[in-house]
Amino acid sequence: MAERIIILGGGIAGISAKLRNRQGTLVDENPYLTMAPRIIDVISGQNPDYPLIPRPLDYTGSVKSIDFENKKLHLHNKDITYDKVIIALGHSQDYSFIKGSKHINGFSGYHDALELKNKIAHKKHIVIIGGGYLGVELAGAIGSNRVTILEAGTQILAGLPGKFSETASELLSSSGVSIELESPVVEVRKDMVITSGKNYESDLTVFAGGFTGNLPDTMQDITVKNSRMVVNSYLQSVDYPDVYAAGDTMVIENGGFIPMSAIIARSSGITAMENAMGFKSRFKPNNFANIIRVGKNYFGTVGNTFIHGIGARIIKEAAVALTVNQVKEL
């Protein structure tokens, strides 16, 4: 009798796992996939439904908790048993550590984008906390002298080649966006953001960082890091051999930094499913393409080659099209 493999999460990682083994049971609370690159388009004025891609599920429901000892998932209206489970529930944000966090607007998903779109037009001073991918693309979408990026480090897009930071800084500055480096936030007030060196007027403060995993409650203790399940090189929980994780839900034990990207989500979903099926495939992260958008400008790397312009845009849009086509294959 075939083992029952449950896939929790219908994002790119979960969809990729399902396509690798169509006998797997795909579970998610939403009947649609939210395309993260298209969330920025909502800010830019695109139809609010543009990021939502309808996709079929084997079961629709939210996970309340997991009992690893008894191999049981507690959903909102029923329990499901499993032989193997792949957890691919994406990410969330945590900015509760910032004093005055109640004055901060999150920006991690579709509903956040809708809320910000309605607020942005009426604000005079917009502060974005965080100069990573999300902060840079959000600032580029707004693109005006109303926007200030506060970055705690010495450059925006830290961790990427210097050409990324240089190009993004030039594009943002030319659109009027201010970039303040080495400016860790100390406190956020209703009309102000206070850093270690200066205060900034703000009638809309947006947090564009602090991504953590989206693990549900568990009946037993498991090893986690930043709310992500710690897995071995086979994407297998270091605590429970029948539990796997993929995408933003996992962090590899002694594996170093792995960027959040569609490429990583897709390949990790496939690897997790193969290993749940009995293969022994080591996950080898290869984020061979990094494309960023600032306003209408696209740039990034493919392999070791830096590209910009129409070529970069085609690659970015092709990646989105690939995911949309995969959804149609479900």
Q: Do 5-92+212-288 and 101-207 share a fold? A: yes
Return the pLDDT at 45. Answer: 84
Mean pLDDT estimate for the chain: 93
**More confident: 93 or 21:** 21
Return the pLDDT at 298. Answer: 96
Is the pLDDT confidence value at 141 over 90? yes
Share of the chain above pLDDT 90, in %: 78
Return the pLDDT at 1. Answer: 52
**Tens digit of pLDDT for each residue in 197-236?**
999 999 999 999 878 888 999 999 999 998 899 999 999 9
C-alpha 10/C-alpha 92 separation (Å) is 15
Return the pLDDT at 128. Answer: 98
**Tens digit of pLDDT for each residue in 277-320?**
999 999 988 878 899 999 999 999 998 899 999 999 999 999 99
Return the pLDDT at 210. Answer: 73
Is the pLDDT confidence value at 14 over 60? yes
Model confidence at 122, pLDDT cuts 50, 70, 90, reads confident
**Tens digit of pLDDT for each residue in 79-108?**
999 999 999 999 888 899 999 999 999 998
Topology (CATH level 3) of domain 101-207? FAD/NAD(P)-binding domain (3.50.50)
Return the pLDDT at 164. Answer: 96
Share of the chain above pLDDT 70, in %: 99
Return the pLDDT at 64. Answer: 93
The residue written with tokens 């193969």 in the block is: 274
Check: pTM over 0.85? Answer yes or no: yes
**CATH architecture, range 5-92+212-288:** 3-Layer(bba) Sandwich (3.50)
Is the pLDDT confidence value at 71 over 60? yes
Domain residue spans in the chain? 5-92+212-288, 101-207
Residues facing residue 25 across a β-bridge: 6
